[in-house]
Amino acid sequence: MGSYRNIDRPTRPETDAGDRERLDWLKRQLSDLAPAGEPWRPALPTGVAALDRHLPWGGLPLVGLHEIAGLMETEFALFLVRGLLAREAEGRPVLWCQTADGARERGRLYGPGLAGRGVDPARVLFVTAKRERDAQWAMEEALASGAVAAAVAETPAIGMTETRRLQLAAQKGEAMGLLLRGPAGDRAPGAALTRWRAEPLVPPESAGETPLPRALHLHLSLWRCRGGRAADWTLRHDEQTLRFDLAAPLADRSQGTA
């Protein structure tokens, strides 16, 4: 038979306490439920049950830095931005940073393309920087300001020191940072809470048939997760609902706690 232990019931703030005091009390209680060594963080659910269950927070932390690499990094980032803007009560916009060279090589996002992914173009601010370090600076300033819900930067080259600065800026401004690392990605140490790789995938049932649009199926790998484990999923994108659903789950390629 299992053993029980007494737990002192925490004292709630008085009913006339301010909203900030009650919120701080709730955060302290929820932090006790988080994995050991990892504080509770409010999260953005992806809507994919298996993925959200795997993440320690039940989704991607709304406050903090995340990295995405792979040929479909922009597609996955837009999916997250759509979900973030849908729940952003204060109406804060999203900042998207590119370098001039990156814009020429990868192309620019444009209004109809954003609208087709369920993202309101009026709520996305675009910045084109001369150099990657300028894009990183713009991202850091935006995150720390508290004026944006998220800041996205297409910056393949970035070091540990810079990612730490971005993580601290995201915490200060209570915003989400998304670093797009390019097709190759980088497994070098960084300060991001999660690190993802998103690649196009032709589903087995379409072999020998007319190829489906690459946005329809996605091989999503979680390379690193603070307080969690690496894993892989195969996702199918529904063009009608603009949601991802689990298609054919891959075996969990756990690499231990990151």
Task: Summarize pLDDT for 77-108 with one digit per residue, the tens.
Answer: 999 999 999 988 678 999 999 988 888 888 88
Range of the domain at 196: 44-184+191-246
- The low-confidence residues of the chain, meaning pLDDT below 70, are 1-40, 89, 202-216, 248-258
Residue 39 lies in a domain: no
Number of compact structural domains in the chain: 1
What number of helices (H) and strands (E) belong to the chain? Answer: 7, 11
Residue 14 lies in a domain: no
Residue 233 lies in a domain: yes
Residue 38 lies in a domain: no
Contact 45, 79 (CB under 8 A): no
Residue 202 is predicted with a pLDDT of: 67
Residue 88 is predicted with a pLDDT of: 81
Residue 108 lies in a domain: yes
Task: Specify which residues 57 forms β-bridges with.
Answer: none
CATH number of the domain to which 49 belongs = 3.40.50.300
Element at 220 (helix H, strand E): strand 217-225
How many other CB atoms sit within 10 Å of the CB of residue 165? 19
The CA–CA distances, whole Å, from 120 to 68, 112, 225, 250 equal 22, 9, 30, 33
**Amino acid making up residue 18:** G
Residue 107 is predicted with a pLDDT of: 82
Residue 194 is predicted with a pLDDT of: 96
Residue 21 lies in a domain: no
SS3 call for 212: coil
DSSP letters of 12-67?
A: PPPTTS-HHHHHHHHHHHHHTTSPTT-----EE--S-HHHHHHSTTSSEESSEEEE
Residue 113 lies in a domain: yes
Residue 239 is predicted with a pLDDT of: 80
Residue 17 lies in a domain: no
Residue 25 is predicted with a pLDDT of: 55
The CA–CA distances, whole Å, from 168 to 55, 80, 90, 227 equal 21, 21, 21, 18
